[in-house]
Structure 1
Amino acid sequence: MVSSTSLRLWVRAPLMWMGGFRWPTIACPPSGRRRKWAAVNKSSLNPLLPLSANCQPAGMPRLFLALLILFTARASADKLEPRVLFLGDSITYGGNWTVYVESAIRAQKGMGRASIVNMGLSSETTSGLSEPGHAGGSFPRPDLHERLGRVLSQFKPTLVVACYGINDGIYQPLDASRQLAFQDGIIKLRLACIRAGAQIVIVTPPLYAPDNRAKDAINYDGVMEAYGAWLVAQRSAGWQVIDIHPLLHQSVDAAKKADPTFIYAKDNLHPGEQGHLFMAKAVWQSLAPMMKWKSDVVFAEGMKLKSLRESSALLRDAWLTQTGHKRPGVKGGLPVAEAEARSAELVGEYLKK
C-alpha cells in the first residue's frame, strides 16, 4: 500500500518546474552496511522511488502506480477541448484580423470545430488609464481587469491571444508612469491567464498614423514601439510575445510602394481590410510555430470568410453580454447556448465549402 507521503511525492514530481517545491531528503537508516551503501549510491538514487527500510528502492508496484498517475494526468490534459480566446481593444473587437487567424487555426488537424471566441472590447485598456474627456466625457475607458476574472472562469480558455497597448498610452507622449501602468496591467493579465490554466500569447501594439506621419506630432507610434520593445524583452523570462509592429511597417511601406494611394488606417488608428490582413499575417507568422501548427495555410476568403465572420460576431456578442463589461453602446448578443448552436452550423458550412 502506498503511503500518502509517497503519493504526494509522485504527484508533485512533474510540477517541480513551477517552483516552490523541493525534493525531500531521502536517507538510509543510519546503521552498518546500509549507511555505507547510501553513501556510495547517493548520486544514483531516484527521488521518484522512496527507499524501503532495507535501503532498496520501494519496488515496481510503487513505480507502476507513479507512472499510472503521471500518464493519467497527461492524458487528461491532452483531452482538454481546445478553447481559443482573443482579447484586445476595438481593433480586435472589429474581428477582421482575428477571423483570418481563426481560419488558419481551423485548418489545423483536430481544430476544425474548436471553440474560438473573440472577446475584444472597444476603448479598453489593460492599464486602467483613461484620458480626461474620453468619448466626449460620456464614459471612461473600460479596464480589462474589471471583467477578466469572469471571462476566464466562464469561457475557460486553453489559449489566450491578447493585443493591447494602442489605448494604454491614452494618445499622449511617452511617459514613465503610463508605461509602468501598461506593464503592470500586462503582467496581471498574464498571471491571471496562467492561474486559470491557459497559455497566453501577447501581441505587440499595431501602428499609429503610418499614412501621414505629420498627423502624429507627439510620435505616438514611437510610444507603441517602446511598449512593444518592453514586451519583446520579456521573452528572456519565458513570455510568448509576437512582435507585429516592425512587420506591419514593412507591409505598409511595400503596399505604398506598389500603390501610392494605399491607406492603412483612414482615422490613423483602425486598419482597413488590408491592414487587418497584414496584422493577421504578422500574427500567424509567429503563432503557428509557437503552437507547432502548420504555417503554410491560406486564409479564408469569399463566402468561407463570410461564414466565419458571422459565426465570430455571434459568439463575440453573446459572450460579451454574458460575461459583462463597463463599455456603453456595445451591441447585445444572444444567449450563449443559442449563439453556439448557430455558430456550429456556420462552422459546419465553412468546413464543407
Structure 2
Amino acid sequence: MDRRRFLAHSSIVLMGSSFLGCLSNSRPTLKKNQVIGCLGDSITYGNKQGYVELLQKHYTANHPEMSLKFGNWGKSSETVTGLTEEHHPGPRPYLFERLDTLLDNEPVDIITFCYGINCGIYGPPSQALFDSYKTGIYTFLEKIKQRNITAILLTPPPLVLDVAPISPNTQETSYGYRNPYPKYDEEVLQEFKKIVLDFHHGSVMGVVDINTPLYKNRADCYDTDPIHPNTKGHRLIADTVIEYFGI
C-alpha cells in the first residue's frame, strides 16, 4: 500500500471520532513570541510577496511588543488530496511528503492552513473527491495534534472564470488547471468551503472565510489569472485574517 493510500485508509478509520470533537466558539487570541507557520499552495507562497508577508508587516509595525513571527510554508501546485490531473507537468506536490520533516525542523505554535483550489485538480465534483479532501484536512490535524500545535483553517479561494476566463485548450481531452471544469468554483470549491467551515477537530482554534470576500470583490482582486489573487487580493486576505484576530 503506497503512502497516499495508507494515509487515506488510516484517516477514514479514525475520522468519525474526530468530528465529535469540540470547536470553541470563542475567538482565538495571539500571544507574545508565537511562531505562526502558513501552509498552503502557490496562493500562500505568493512569490514571498503575498498575504503572509503582509501579516508579518502588519504585526511588526502595529504590535511590535508581541514579537510575532510568520513563516511562509507555501508550495506551488501542492494538494492535500494527492491528486494530479493528466496534463499537469509532473506529479503535484503532496503535503504529506514534506509535512513531518517541516514540523520536525521548524518549531511553531500555530499553523494557518489554506488548501483546496488545486485539490480537486480542476475537474467535476464527486463524493470520493470530497472524502479525499476531508481526509487530507483530518490527517494534517492529527499530525499537529501529536505535537501540541493548533491550526487556523482558511477556506480555499475561488476560481473566478467570469473575471479572468481561460480559453479552453482544444488539444486536451480532460480537465486541469489549463482547461478547468466550467462549474469548478460552484460545484467543487464551494463544497470545499463548506467542509472547512464545518470541520470540527480539537486542534482547530479558528476558521477564517477568505473565499466570500475574495469572490465578492473579485473584479478588484484578480487580473488576468482566475486562480491567483493580485496584490489587492492578498491585501484582502491579510485584512480578513487580521480582523478575525481583532488586533
TM-score by length of 1: 0.52
Give the one of 83, 87, 106 matched to 1:155. Answer: 106
Indicate the residue corresponding to 2:75 in structure 1: 121
Aligned partners of 1:263, 1:80: CA distance in 2, in Å? 32
Shift of 1:213: 7.7
Aligned twin of 2:226? 268
| Aligned pairs for 1:176-325 within 5 A | 176-209=127-160, 211-212=162-163, 215=166, 218-222=182-186, 223-235=188-200, 239=204, 240-252=206-218, 256=219, 262=220, 264-286=222-244, 288-289=245-246, 294=247
- Report the Cα distance in structure 2 between the residues aligned to 1:164 and 1:272, rounded to whole angstroms: 18
One of 106, 110, 132 as aligned partner of 2:65: 110
Report the count of equivalent residues: 200
Structure label with greater radius of gyration: 1
Q: Deviations over 1:139-161 (max 9, x none)?
A: 20010001101111110210101
**In 2, are the aligned partners of 1:153 and 1:196 still within 8 Å (CA)?**
no
* Structure 2: runs of 5 or more not aligned: 1-30, 167-179
- For 1:241, the aligned partner's letter is V
Distance in 1 separating the partners of 2:77 and 2:91? 9
**In structure 2, the residue corresponding to 1:101 is in which secondary structure?**
helix
* Residues 37 and 72 in structure 2, CA contact (< 8 A), matched pair in contact too: yes
Structure with the largest fraction of strand: 2
Secondary structure at the counterpart of residue 99 of structure 1: helix
Give deviations 1:107-133, integer Å, cap 9, x for gaps.
Answer: 335333x33210100010011111122
The one-letter amino acid paired with 1:227 is F
- 2:207 match: secondary structure: strand
Q: What SS does structure 1 have at the residue aligned with 2:213?
A: helix
Q: What one-letter code is carried by the residue in structure 1 that aligns with 2:231?
A: E
Report if the CA contact (8 A) 1:160-1:198 is conserved: yes
Structure with higher RCO (Cα < 8 A, 6+ apart): 2
CA contact (8 A) 1:84 1:160 kept: yes
Q: Tell me the amino acid that sits aligned with residue 215 of structure 2.
A: H
Partner of 1:68: none
2:35 is aligned to 83
CA distance in 2, matches of 1:238, 1:118: 20
TM-superposition CA deviations, 1:232-283 (whole Å, max 9, x none):
112587832111111212233xxx4xxxxx4614121111111111222222
Q: How does 1:37-52 map to 2 (within 5 A)?
A: none
Secondary structure, aligned partner of 2:217: helix
Give the TM-score normalised by the residue count of structure 2. 0.73
For 2:81 and 2:43, the matched residues in 1 are separated by 17
Higher helix fraction: Structure 1 or Structure 2? Answer: 1
Alpha-carbon contact 1:210-1:264 (below 8 Å) kept: no
| Closer/same/farther in 2, CA of residues 178 and 265 from structure 1, 3 Å limit | farther
**Distance in 2, Cα, partners of 1:169 & 1:193:** 24
Q: Secondary structure at the match of 2:36?
A: strand
Match of 1:59 in 2: none
- Say which is worse superposed, 233-242 or 194-203, in terms of deviation: 233-242
Moved >3 Å (runs of 4+): 210-217, 235-239
Structure 1 unaligned regions, length at least 5 = 1-78, 257-261, 295-353
Instruction: Note the aligned Cα RMSD (angstroms).
Output: 2.5
Aligned to 1:122, what secondary structure does the other structure show?
coil
CA distance in 2, matches of 1:156, 1:236: 22
Tell whether the 8 Å contact from 1:156 to 1:196 is kept in structure 2 after alignment.
no
